Chains A and B, each alone.
Chain A
Amino acid sequence: MTLPEILTPGRLLAGAVTAAAISLWLLLPRGRESGVARWLGILLGIAALAGLACAGRRLGGLGEEAVFLTVSLVAVVSGAATVLTRSPVYSAIWFAMCLLGVAGVLLVLGAQFLGVATIVVYAGAILVMFLFVLMLAQPAGLAPYDRVSNEPFLSAVTAAVLLGLLTLSIGRLSAEPAAPLAAEPAVTVAADPLAENHVARLGAELFGRHLVSVEAAGVLLLVALIGSIAVVSRSESAGLEDAR
């Protein structure tokens, strides 16, 4: 019995999902630290990634493949580290790393503007805010609630099964030819990451067809701004009362 006969695609997927579940369970904080569990988890995680990578496609060229593999590995591994690290400060830094990976993926996928915007908005603004809050709130970094998880096993199984289902359905969907959504697509996205005038065309689309949505988003931002200020002032006064 040869390897391909044993490793049918279905079994491969099932194995990868199981490995992912066990790996997540082992790596999640569960109160007591154990070096064996950690290394076993890391190994299983690599196996799971490898298994799931088999569900991917070969791309046009080797260089392209290398670029995509790099950025996506950065994104996924640092995303896993964000979830699994005990210290929230490290979590936030891993998240920043993940964002870089995601930006790379977006760039490869042909969304130049979004790739840059993700870095600017998240890494530049949101993440800094996170860290700021984190420093304010939790200087110790090793609180008991950072060392335990809520229902790690069930959650890991749920997420792994979800991942399996998504992989399966992505496979199903890709068999169908892509159908244009609109009867007459306004602008076709260039497959080339460095397509000419990408941002200009995106801007035209955003401020043409989606102008009302942009206005609504602007109003939403304003409301969120005012709302957060209102909540802050109230909770601070409440905190003052508590202090008294």
Chain B
Amino acid sequence: MPVSTPTLQALVPALPLAAAILTMLLGRRLGHRAHLPAVFGIAGAAVAAVMLLLSTHAIATHEIASHGADAGHGDPHSAAAAFQTAKRFDSPATLWHWATIDEAIVPSPAATPPGTPLSAPNAGGSAAAIPFSIPIQLRLDPLTATMLALVTCVGLLVAIYSIGYMSHDPDYARFFSLVALFVFSMTMLVSATNFLVVYVFWEAVGACSYLLIGFWFRKPEAARAAKKAFLVNRVGDFGLAIAVFLIWMTYGTLNFHDVTLADGSLQPGVLGVTRLEEPGRIVGGAIGTVICLCLLLAACGKSAQAPLHVWLPDAMEGPTPASSLIHAATMVTAGIYLVARCAPLFEACPGALVAVSLVGAVTALLAGLIATVQNDLKRVLAYSTISQLGYMFVSLGTGTLLGFTAAIFHLVTHAFFKALLFMGAGSVMHSMGGVIDMRRFGGLRRIMPITAATFLVGSLALAGVPPFAGFFSKDEILASLHAKAFPGGHDGHHEPSTVATVLQPVGFSARLAANPTNTPATNWLDGLDRPTVWRAIWWMAILTAGLTAFYTFRAVFMTFSGPERVPEEAAGHDHAHGGSGPHESPPVMTIPLCILAAASAVSGWWLFSTHALSDFLAVTPSLAAPAVAATAVPHAFHVDIAIQGTLAAAIGIAVAAIGHLGRRSDGPQMERFLGPLEWLFANRFFIDQLYSAFVVKPLEALAFVAAAFDRFVIDGTVDAVGRLPVAAGSLVRGLQSGLVQRYALAGASGVLLIVLALFWRLRG
């Protein structure tokens, strides 16, 4: 290979960063060529990322085969072989060391014995002074490689699409610079191998998203939406910060990987293979659960899960390419990535895993219900994104290898079809002169055939219709969930019901049972890990599948079927550049649509049938950990689960067809159909109003009180202090006579007094 792997790893974030800086500096000069640095930078990053993906895949395949052979097992995909392979990926490329401290006091440099209470001083051993630094390193393992390829490829398509979409915008350069910066932040986030670096780029991603949502900051709604997204994300970031602190106090390191210190000793990373090898070194109990719940809070903020989902629908005020970039493929998947990366931590806390699933299921259902009554095409997609992310959380929460890989699988396919749908919506919006309300147009399939066709493919994928991508990924999620909900299985294969039983062979459950740090709250949370609860989650997932199909096809039918209608804005929109009336979008926009449509159509089947993705991901250190790997099951296609999922989708599509196929899109079908529920859904379950009443209004009152306090008490005190010298000065103002001899007298006698005082002291 002509370019070494570390160079490629560095190139992936470096090229977009360079493009961002170049565009920022030269934006005005570049004019209508401002997209060139960003497009080529992200393209270079995408090429590098794909090369990395291929090389990682080659290494994984080769090594797992050799390790499988070494171990003497017939099955090359055994857990032991996967773990041996995973060790290969535990050495990141170092860029530089930041915040180097020669003798840092580290709370617990040695491995913390499991279950040590946090309140104990220097939990787990004496504090020691060891060299400390925050290494800025790039890791490369299957999970990272997958995310890198995904982020850069989708980013590239979005950048190309934006050339057409943003062509009339006066801030053309700023947009591309932000997109490149966002790709940089996101690639660094998934490459980081230290919790602190993750935190830094977690914030950077949030900042980019703020800038992109508020791109049209002169529009009040956009500014408000950007602020809302930022503030809601802060709540999640707070969770991540607490989690980082707790991890530092508990593990004494923030590195993912093992580090060999200067004196030759090995410092096990939080997610390093040394720690993963002995499951007892992952802290469970109350501390572990709190860490995991804080990580979950962070993931909820970034991935728009209930109750922090409120920012994502409003974020549709941003430019559509930004919506598809942030909300389809990249930023919202940061939460999924984080949970998957920290899988071993979650694995030690069954309660936290149930919480992940419950949050996901509730979000999926809630967002699905709200999406059914939205009339804004982009908002339907936004709620659909929230719903699908909830699906991924449900899958992560099952805590099985299948669940984790299925979540990433769904993440990948969802990135394809949701980016496709967003871009399709953007194409419609572009053609309709900025109108996105589905009641105002209809029957567009003749006007924009390519957009309609690709949108339909995306919708089929989203609805989970076989053989499109969404069907397979959703099926894997349902399969992992089914195994938890109906232990004992349908195929007769043994499916452990709880994590504790999974870990029996490695002596984990005894420790969990006797863990003295479990509090009543965590015990209650752990107690939720039982089939009844999983069954409830299962039915919520199935219901959501039906809802997904319904609202997706409601949108498709309202937009593309029925009598042809276009809003008046569309007619005037095109005169500027010679066209007349609504039109199909330019090729620069439709080509990405076609590519994504192809990916949406075949990627699911391909990845599912070859197990390429799941086998590949299984050698990620976090997922190859014995605790996770022990939950692996043979690949299988469960016909009964597939039928249930497909049935739900079919019912949803059918209901949508009854309501909307071939009708005018501005009819009152939904109101008649849902009745009072429509009012509830249309108001989004009043969650925004609840936030307003219980968070925003009290805070505003507090701010008002604080402002009053500041103005009257603090300012008053300061003013009083300021008046004090004036008052004192007015007493002696009479001395300021303007007579030079009085000044001289004052000076002379003053000096004399000082000399007298000195004499007085020296006398003794």
Contacts and interface: CB of A to CB of B under 8 A. Distances in A.
Contact flag (A, B; Cβ within 8 A)? yes
Interface of A: 150-151, 154-155, 158, 161-162, 165, 168
B755 A158 contact: no
A151 B752 contact: no
Contacts of A150: 739, 741-742, 745
Nearest to A162: B752
A155 B752 CA distance: 12
Nearest to A159: B748
Nearest to A151: B745
A154 B750 CA distance: 12
A36 B739 CA distance: 31
B759 interface: yes
B759 A158 contact: no
B223 to A, nearest CB: 63
A161 B745 CA distance: 13
Contacts of A162: 748, 752
B759 A165 contact: yes
A161 B742 contact: no
23 contacts: A150-B739, A150-B741, A150-B742, A150-B745, A151-B741, A151-B742, A151-B745, A154-B745, A154-B749, A155-B745, A158-B745, A158-B748, A158-B749, A158-B752, A161-B752, A161-B756, A162-B748, A162-B752, A165-B752, A165-B755, A165-B756, A165-B759, A168-B759
Nearest to B740: A150
A162 B748 CA distance: 9
Interface residues of B, number: 10
Contacts of A165: 752, 755-756, 759
B245 to A, nearest CB: 66
Contacts, number: 23
A154 B753 CA distance: 13
Given A151-B745, A161-B756, 14 more contacts: A150-B739, A150-B741, A150-B742, A150-B745, A154-B745, A154-B749, A155-B745, A158-B748, A158-B749, A161-B752, A162-B748, A162-B752, A165-B759, A168-B759
Interface string B730-764: 00000000010110010011001001100100000
A128 to B, nearest CB: 27
A168 B739 CA distance: 32
A114 B394 CA distance: 106
B746 to A, nearest CB: 10
A83 to B, nearest CB: 14
A162 B756 CA distance: 9
A150 B744 CA distance: 11
10 tightest CB-CB pairs across the interface, nearest first? A150-B741, A158-B749, A158-B748, A151-B745, A162-B752, A158-B752, A155-B745, A161-B752, A165-B755, A154-B745
Contacts of A154: 745, 749
Interface of B: 739, 741-742, 745, 748-749, 752, 755-756, 759
A154 B752 CA distance: 12
B740 to A, nearest CB: 9
B670 to A, nearest CB: 93
Contacts of B759: 165, 168
Contacts of A151: 741-742, 745
Most B CB atoms within 10 A — which of A154, A155, A158, A165? A158
Contacts of A158: 745, 748-749, 752
Contacts of B745: 150-151, 154-155, 158
A162 B751 CA distance: 10
A155 B756 CA distance: 16
A165 B745 CA distance: 17
A8 to B, nearest CB: 16
A168 B752 CA distance: 14
A155 B741 CA distance: 10
B301 to A, nearest CB: 74
Contacts of B749: 154, 158
Contacts of B739: 150
B761 to A, nearest CB: 14
A129 to B, nearest CB: 22
Contacts of B748: 158, 162
A50 B752 CA distance: 24
A142 B676 CA distance: 110
A78 B10 CA distance: 93
Nearest to B748: A158
A227 B741 CA distance: 25
A21 B749 CA distance: 14
A155 B748 CA distance: 9
Contacts of A168: 759
A161 B750 CA distance: 12
A154 B759 CA distance: 21
A154 B748 CA distance: 11
A9 to B, nearest CB: 15
A161 B756 CA distance: 9
Nearest to A168: B759
A10 to B, nearest CB: 11
A168 B741 CA distance: 27
A162 B750 CA distance: 11
A112 to B, nearest CB: 34
Most A CB atoms within 10 A — which of B745, B748, B749, B755? B749
A72 B741 CA distance: 29
Contacts of B741: 150-151
Contacts of B752: 158, 161-162, 165
A20 to B, nearest CB: 15
Nearest to B763: A168
B745 to A, nearest CB: 6
A121 B752 CA distance: 32
A22 B106 CA distance: 78
A168 B759 CA distance: 10
Nearest to A169: B759
B582 to A, nearest CB: 84
A155 B749 CA distance: 8
A162 to B, nearest CB: 6
